[in-house]
Structure 1
Amino acid sequence: MMATSQPQTSDAVILIPGIMGSELVDATTGHILWGLSDPRWYVSAWTSGTSLAALRLTPEERSGRYGRVRATRLIRFPAFAPVLAGLSPYDRLRKALRAVVWHPAAMAEFAYDWRLPIVHNAGLLAKFAHRHLESWHAHPAYAEGRARRHASEKTDTPARLTLVAHSMGGLLAWQACLNADLAGQVRTTVTLGTPFFGAPKAVLMLGSGRGVALPRGRLHRLAVTLPGIYDLLPTYRCVTDGTTARRLTPSDVADLGGDPELAADSLAMRQYGPSRPLMGHVQVVGMHQPTVQSVTLDRGSLATHQFTYRPFLDGMTCVDVGGDGTVPRESAQLPPGPAIPVAQSHGAVAAAAEAVLVAQDAVTDQHIGPWLGETRIGLDVPDVVQAGCPFQVGVTGVELPTDVRCAVIDLSSGLQVDAPSVQWRDGAIVATGRPLPPGLYQVQANSGGMSPVTHMLLSADLPQRSVHQPPDSTSEVCGTTRHERAR
């Protein structure tokens, strides 16, 4: 056990990434299919070539014969997909967790093929967790640590498991812990932005193939084959006709061009959401980002809305509960426990200093208090912009343009390439970015006190016809976005 003044845990800790968070390789050739080191790869993958074809599920994989693709490790570099936008690597969280375990051997990372069903990956996680705990119990550093603790504290409680999960990883943790043997070994579960009740953006991914930008069409052709995407479909009443709301159905998914069988399998299994709480659950919820919370469907067309419905007096009322830009706030909170709010985007919440601190404190059984000087900044960032064209970012949660500072970072070089001007425009605060060459970028907004709020965007040379979108869908036109908000 390393000498340190920082509280430590004797537990075996497992870090579980979210969707897109594991590097995937061809099991035969070793060729990397997802998680490459050059962010510019995502520009070509989403706009030209056939790089993404190998990620589509084959008929053999659809029938349950897996093994063609292998998950090797957590991503070490930023990743990107349209609609879901960017995912930051887990370096900061990994380092923070290693700092509070007795020995590096107590810390493990569970990489998984996020294309596949959650039930399948949860079964692998359960086996992995049992092996990791047994391995840690047999490690010399564990025996040494127990002896030291017994001598100083006169206690000798055996180590258990602590699970720290981001996004989809939290769904794996929940599903795996339906196994009573594993649940009995888990002391604490930390979830960061987990969509316990799904996310309407999954609907948008499945319905992105009609009349939308070129990267969205490629996303649609990939997403409709992936069971993991269907496992993110919302289970709450998210389909609205303007006065009330109902649950999504497999026929809705089929009308959008998705697979009704995959939708039926997933929605039936998750019909009422998680049925039991997680062991020692600590949950971080991304907040204050403009978030799609409901959809309107009309004969295969799709419109998204930044509001949800709640019962009110004799009818229903629409309300904007916000979220992390991908997962609505109420979908990321599993009753009955409280949630710790962090103003951050979905893909960056696991890298935010505040969330990392929560994870450290939960692992070491500390209790974090309320944030001081909490930021409420929200960013409405287009996921894809036309290269060489100025773009706009909506800024919320501040009173004046001078209250916020914005920056654009080139993720290939790590250098700041722009400091967008922030101004009033048509009654809203807007940051205007300069034209960017093709590449993957991160937009940052900071008002002081807390971590910057960050979102990724892809700049690409798009055919002019692919930039235009119909007025009833979420759209990007030269970098701007349009959604319908609660009124």
Structure 2
Amino acid sequence: MGSVLEDTATGRPLWGADPKVLTDRPAGTGLLDALHAEPQEQAADAATARRGPLTRIRATALLTVPWWLPVLKGIEPYTDVRKTLQNVTLAPDAVLPFPYDWRLAVAYNGALLARRARAHLTWWREQVTARPEWRAAGERQPRLLFAAHSMGGLVVRAALEQDPELAADTRAVITVGTPFLGSANCVLTLNLLQSSSKPGWLARRLQALAATLPGVHDLLPGYRCLDRGLDVDRLTPRDVARFGGDENLAARSLAEHARYREHGFTLPGHRAIIGEAQPTVQALDEMERAGRVVAVGRRHSFDIGDDRELLRHPNTGIPVRRDASGDGTVHVPSARLGTEAVTYVFGQHSMLMRHDEVLRQIRRTALERPQGAHLAGAGEGDGPGLETPHLGGTVGEALALHVTGLATPAGVRLTVHSATTGRPGHPLTLRRDPDRTDGALSARFTPDTPDLYRVVLDTGAHVPLTQLVLAGPPDA
């Protein structure tokens, strides 16, 4: 959801232009309603894209300002990664940003990307041929490198699967926090009506929007995630409908998951960068509340054996539950895709493309330097984690912030400041939380004005962790 969208007919920005619209009910209501996918947009697939793109709404640029959503939390700009790649190419124009209408199906956007990437590669080869000083840099034909965050990795996979010749012309694909198996947080977004998200108007509008979008349904978890106690099920389209989604859109998405489980697809030169050690919803269970089905996120997952069956405790037969960790949005198994070329970082999903170590790994891949599975001093799952309210909050009410994976608050600095104005905040006091069984440290922050806030955790020993949280005005 990191692309700016606008109304083609009027040029009016609908998404990603000014985060203050998220705290302004009159302005935000109209924009969010305008983003609902119409029937033609819901049905759009790769064949639709090859006939010509839909034009009601267009993607104009990658995000240049921070954005936020309940459950999925913050979305940070992509300026840093673009500059990182431009600094190691023959010319800045070698780096092509690809904004896309994330509301629509991954397959549709994959077809658009395939066409755009082919045109860019053809054009760039012509530029290199025309410049003798560039030809002297090497005899190899230029090839493609994809650097993709989150859903972008799914779009790249769709593009290369649809166009085998493009895959052959691709040197490497870097995916950062891509949910190849889906994300349980997607279900919580569709279930926002049953949450206590504040401001309520924003939660209601976003849930109604999400329920119409093929792109959101393409993020549904395809792995076994529905905890039944003695068994674990995959979601069915009917389950998704009970949680607030669209049954037909869910059926198409879950069928794609089943296809990949059976046949798979190998990304050329794949490098996966994965955030870990962050509290991450990995499984779901459900309860009834006032006659409605409520999805409850759980921070554990389930191991699958080589026979594709659940691993169970030998004495009780109960499925083995364990915290596989993740980046706060995507758990580690979903982001791996079976590749062995993996780099782990301590980082939140939204901030990965601004993370210093991620940028370093992207630069190393562009320069064809060796990769390492772990960064220096980063043992798997053993590091700091940051947990912020996934439903946001309101002005005047304290927000609980938690820090995991640290034995002591000594030398640790936790601050909150405005993400829109840069207005600084004071350091918060971290204390051991007696109500947490994981030994988390906790602090409280009370926002004094509606705004998008950036929480920063600096341990002094790791790249600082950051996360965005929205505080809106009280509901009328």
TM-score calculated relative to the size of structure 1:
0.86
Deviations 1:84-103 (A, max 9, x none): 11111011111100001111
Output the CA distance in 2 between the equivalents of 1:45 and 1:86: 19
Aligned equivalent of 2:252, options 260, 265, 276: 265
Deviations 1:96-117 (A, max 9, x none): 0000111112110111000000
Output the CA distance in 2 between the equivalents of 1:218 and 1:186: 40
Asked if structure 2 preserves the Cα contact closer than 8 Å seen for 1:47 and 1:460, the reply is: no
Output the CA distance in 1 between the equivalents of 2:312 and 2:413: 39
**Residue in 2 that maps onto 1:34:** 15
> Structure 2: which amino acid aligns with 1:265?
R
Asked if structure 1 preserves the Cα contact closer than 8 Å seen for 2:3 and 2:101, the reply is: yes
Which secondary structure state, in structure 1, belongs to the residue aligned with residue 196 of structure 2?
A: coil
**Residue in 2 that maps onto 1:277:** 266
Which secondary structure state, in structure 2, belongs to the residue aligned with residue 415 of structure 1?
A: coil
The 5 Å alignment of 1:191-202 reads: 191-202=175-186
Cα distance, 1:63 vs structure 2:
4.0
Provide closer, same or farther for how the CA distance between residues 111 and 435 of structure 1 changes in structure 2, counting only shifts above 3 A. Answer: closer
**Residue in 2 that maps onto 1:186:** 170
Matched, 1:173 2:185: no
The 5 Å alignment of 1:249-398 reads: 249-271=236-258, 273=260, 275-298=264-287, 300-310=293-303, 311-314=311-314, 315=317, 316-369=319-372, 370-374=374-378, 376-383=383-390, 384-398=392-406
> Structure 1: which amino acid aligns with 2:24?
S
> Structure 2: which amino acid aligns with 1:441?
Y
Provide closer, same or farther for how the CA distance between residues 409 and 145 of structure 1 changes in structure 2, counting only shifts above 3 A. Answer: farther
Matched, 1:115 2:103: yes
Provide closer, same or farther for how the CA distance between residues 112 and 92 of structure 1 changes in structure 2, counting only shifts above 3 A. Answer: same
Deviations 1:416-470 (A, max 9, x none): 2231111112153112224331100110101123321111000112339xxxxxx
Cα distance, 1:30 vs structure 2:
0.7
**Residue in 1 that maps onto 2:468:** 456
**Residue in 1 that maps onto 2:35:** 55
Asked if structure 2 preserves the Cα contact closer than 8 Å seen for 1:207 and 1:257, the reply is: yes
Provide closer, same or farther for how the CA distance between residues 46 and 242 of structure 1 changes in structure 2, counting only shifts above 3 A. Answer: farther
Provide closer, same or farther for how the CA distance between residues 461 and 405 of structure 1 changes in structure 2, counting only shifts above 3 A. Answer: same
Aligned equivalent of 1:242, options 221, 225, 229: 229
Cα distance, 1:145 vs structure 2:
4.5
Output the CA distance in 1 between the equivalents of 2:229 and 2:455: 33
Output the CA distance in 2 between the equivalents of 1:366 and 1:34: 37
Cα distance, 1:217 vs structure 2:
2.1
Which secondary structure state, in structure 2, belongs to the residue aligned with residue 24 of structure 1?
A: strand
Output the CA distance in 1 between the equivalents of 2:230 and 2:332: 22
Asked if structure 2 preserves the Cα contact closer than 8 Å seen for 1:162 and 1:189, the reply is: yes
Asked if structure 2 preserves the Cα contact closer than 8 Å seen for 1:387 and 1:437, the reply is: yes
Asked if structure 2 preserves the Cα contact closer than 8 Å seen for 1:291 and 1:323, the reply is: yes
Deviations 1:220-244 (A, max 9, x none): 1110000000000001000011232
> Structure 1: which amino acid aligns with 2:458?
N
> Structure 2: which amino acid aligns with 1:277?
T
Greater share of residues in helix: 2
Asked if structure 2 preserves the Cα contact closer than 8 Å seen for 1:122 and 1:173, the reply is: yes
Deviations 1:373-397 (A, max 9, x none): 4481111101311211222111101
**Residue in 2 that maps onto 1:474:** none
> Structure 2: which amino acid aligns with 1:337?
E
Provide closer, same or farther for how the CA distance between residues 304 and 50 of structure 1 changes in structure 2, counting only shifts above 3 A. Answer: same
**Residue in 1 that maps onto 2:63:** 75
> Structure 1: which amino acid aligns with 2:296?
A
Deviations 1:241-261 (A, max 9, x none): 123211000010111221100
Output the CA distance in 2 between the equivalents of 1:181 and 1:111: 23
Provide closer, same or farther for how the CA distance between residues 145 and 239 of structure 1 changes in structure 2, counting only shifts above 3 A. Answer: farther
Output the CA distance in 2 between the equivalents of 1:431 and 1:141: 58
The 5 Å alignment of 1:196-211 reads: 196-210=180-194
Asked if structure 1 preserves the Cα contact closer than 8 Å seen for 2:173 and 2:267, the reply is: yes
Provide closer, same or farther for how the CA distance between residues 141 and 119 of structure 1 changes in structure 2, counting only shifts above 3 A. Answer: same
Output the CA distance in 2 between the equivalents of 1:292 and 1:60: 33
Asked if structure 2 preserves the Cα contact closer than 8 Å seen for 1:209 and 1:218, the reply is: no
Output the CA distance in 2 between the equivalents of 1:94 and 1:211: 36
Any runs of at least 4 consecutive aligned residues in structure 1 with deviations exceeding 3 A, and if so which? Answer: 45-49, 140-143, 312-315
Provide closer, same or farther for how the CA distance between residues 272 and 101 of structure 1 changes in structure 2, counting only shifts above 3 A. Answer: same
Provide closer, same or farther for how the CA distance between residues 328 and 416 of structure 1 changes in structure 2, counting only shifts above 3 A. Answer: same
Output the CA distance in 1 between the equivalents of 2:326 and 2:83: 27
Cα distance, 1:298 vs structure 2:
4.3
Output the CA distance in 1 between the equivalents of 2:459 and 2:444: 17
Output the CA distance in 1 between the equivalents of 2:259 and 2:278: 26
Output the CA distance in 2 between the equivalents of 1:414 and 1:98: 27
More displaced stretch, 452-461 vs 380-389: 380-389
Asked if structure 2 preserves the Cα contact closer than 8 Å seen for 1:421 and 1:433, the reply is: no
TM-score calculated relative to the size of structure 2:
0.88
Provide closer, same or farther for how the CA distance between residues 46 and 292 of structure 1 changes in structure 2, counting only shifts above 3 A. Answer: farther
Which secondary structure state, in structure 2, belongs to the residue aligned with residue 278 of structure 1?
A: coil
Output the CA distance in 1 between the equivalents of 2:27 and 2:450: 11
> Structure 2: which amino acid aligns with 1:204?
L
**Residue in 2 that maps onto 1:471:** none
Asked if structure 2 preserves the Cα contact closer than 8 Å seen for 1:137 and 1:143, the reply is: no
More displaced stretch, 426-435 vs 175-184: 426-435
Cα distance, 1:140 vs structure 2:
5.0
Instruction: Kindly tell me the number of residue pairs found equivalent between the two proteins.
Output: 439
**Percent identity for Structure 1 against Structure 2:** 34
Asked if structure 1 preserves the Cα contact closer than 8 Å seen for 2:182 and 2:220, the reply is: yes
Cα RMSD (Å) of the superposition?
1.9
Provide closer, same or farther for how the CA distance between residues 159 and 210 of structure 1 changes in structure 2, counting only shifts above 3 A. Answer: same
> Structure 2: which amino acid aligns with 1:247?
R
